[in-house]
Amino acid sequence: MSVTRTDARAAHAVGVERLLESYRAVPPTAPVRLAKPTSNLFRTRASTGAAGLDTSGLSHVIAVDPEARTADVAGMCTYEDLVAATLPHGLAPLVVPQLKTITLGGAVTGLGIESTSFRNGLPHESVLEMDILTGAGEVLTVSRDERSEHADLFRAFPNSYGTLGYAVRLRIELEPVEPFVELTHLRFHAVTDLVAAMGRIIETGRVDGVTVDYLDGVVFSADESYLCVGTQTAEPGPVSDYTGQRIFYRSIQHDDPEQHDRVTIHDYLWRWDTDWFWCSKAFGAQHPLVRRFWPRRYRRSSAYSTLMRFERRFDIGDRLEKLKGRPPRERVIQDVEVPIERCAEFVDWFLQNVPIEPIWLCPLRLRDDDRWPLYPLKPNRTYVNVGFWSTVPVGATEGETNRLIERKVSELDGHKSLYSDAYYSRDEFDELYGAPTYRSAKARYDPDSRLLDLYAKAVQRR
């Protein structure tokens, strides 16, 4: 039965009504948007002038059902709060994106990924049911049942980035987890060897006879890369702590063929958040002296993203580059999916053409059939997410490096996530991101275009 008191459901109902009241207060001809204090999107966004919808009552876990292994969650609830509610019951979401302030609704409408994705797919695949506030101002309940009235909205919602509506409540599957994770970091001297080993682990679910629960990797250079293999365990014992002076991604590097480590399940899920993968280095947070005096509560991705937005607002980085007689920098903050058989080819090309290291590798396979038309990955096919987050010197044209990457990803039958800057033409975008399905859903659920069009939001609003 539910372990959350009924007052949580009552509070949620109040939050939904507050949201609807704020929607009704927006003039009929005016566009609408969410009023969000934080965002994990990295697009350079112009002000829309749109009124913000009140989501202040939609940031909590409504109920956890440990017997059914499900959770009902408000759309603006962060994964940090969701995990805090499920771990005491030995449960976790099937996929927990890397950053604590990613919201469940955001991960579903904008996609998400993590080291369970090779066996659990993407976050939207574990959704059983959603309440969605559409652009037409209706709250509709949608589910994975193909016979349901709004099955088309359920299928079109992932990768729509809030342009078809906003998730108000989501019911998701949970899975059992053990208190600890045993880690093995396997070193490779060639990316082709790493990808081959990754493929074998995905096919068998094991390495050296041991079950693999978590799998991702890091490429530091063409001749230094690692697979990070995790196995759940209940066996008590000493654990490492990477929330203080020690830095997780540096612990991966070693000279031996393999190295072992051990962390709590909580610290494993948030292993990348403390240093925003490795991006905290840009703010000096990895310098031993600075780190010693950097408050622990600010060693988290949300603090670094706040600093980054401040830097972008005042162009501090480009001003410093100018003082040094160097050109401004182009942001290359992207995640792309390429088929595993083309992964080594893409990484090799990337290392030769884009001066960014390290890069993150995270394999995934859809759990379901081909039912997600706005991000049409093929069923029964393994992809590898390649993540890279830094800057490069600007080129001769706007977004030159990003455009180069986009062309290469398309050439390799891959896809690019839309949380950051994109430069596709309208025709390219429509071909890649399910235009016929999107337009049909847009006409039905946002007939007056109160919400932005997906192409306008992902590409044009810079």
Tens digits of residue pLDDT in 332-386:
999 999 999 999 999 999 999 999 999 999 999 999 776 899 999 999 999 999 9
Residue 335 inside a domain? The answer is: no
d(CA 402, CA 354): 10
Number of domains forming the structure of the chain = 1
d(CA 274, CA 230): 19
Amino acid letter for position 3:
V
Residue 152 inside a domain? The answer is: yes
How buried is 146 (Cβ within 10 angstroms: 0-12 exposed, 13-18 middle, 19+ buried)?
Answer: exposed
Residues in the chain with pLDDT < 70? 1-6, 36-51, 370, 462
Q: How confident is the model at residue 3, as a pLDDT?
A: 44
d(CA 265, CA 92): 10
Residue 172: which CATH number? 3.30.465.10
- What DSSP assignment string belongs to 100-119? TT-BHHHHHHH----TTHHH
d(CA 123, CA 167): 13
- Alpha-helix residue ranges (DSSP H) falling in 172-242: 191-204
d(CA 158, CA 424): 19
Q: Which two tokens stand for residue 121?
A: 């797919």
Parallel/antiparallel/unpaired status of strands 329-339 and 258-264: unpaired
Q: How confident is the model at residue 322, as a pLDDT?
A: 78
Domain interval for residue 13: 6-177
Residue 285 inside a domain? The answer is: no
Task: Count the helices and strands in the chain (H runs, E runs).
Answer: 16, 18
Residue 96 inside a domain? The answer is: yes
- For residue 329, list its beta bridge partners: 393
Tell whether omega for the bond before 358 is within 30 degrees of 0, i.e. cis: yes
Q: Which two tokens stand for residue 373?
A: 């038309």
d(CA 339, CA 361): 12
Say if CB 351 and CB 209 are below 8 A apart.
Answer: no
d(CA 10, CA 140): 18
Write phi, then psi, for 388 (nearest 5 degrees). -145, 130
Residue 155 inside a domain? The answer is: yes
How buried is 440 (Cβ within 10 angstroms: 0-12 exposed, 13-18 middle, 19+ buried)?
Answer: middle
The kind and range of the H/E element at 232 are strand 224-233
Q: How confident is the model at residue 310, as a pLDDT?
A: 86
Residue 459 inside a domain? The answer is: no
pTM of the predicted model, to two decimals? 0.94
**Residue 151 burial (CB count, 10 A):** 15
Residue 1 inside a domain? The answer is: no
Q: How confident is the model at residue 323, as a pLDDT?
A: 83
Q: Which two tokens stand for residue 190?
A: 């060639």
Q: How confident is the model at residue 43, as a pLDDT?
A: 60
pLDDT tens digits, one per residue of 136-179: 999 999 999 888 899 999 999 999 999 999 999 999 999 999 99
Residue 351 inside a domain? The answer is: no
Amino acid letter for position 61:
V
**Residue 325 burial (CB count, 10 A):** 6
Write phi, then psi, for 210 (nearest 5 degrees). -105, 135
- Alpha-helix residue ranges (DSSP H) falling in 385-447: 400-411, 426-432, 435-445
- Axis-axis angle for helices 340-353, 400-411 (nearest 10): 150
d(CA 156, CA 135): 14
Q: Which of these, 87, 68, 70, lies nearest to 79 by C-alpha position?
A: 87
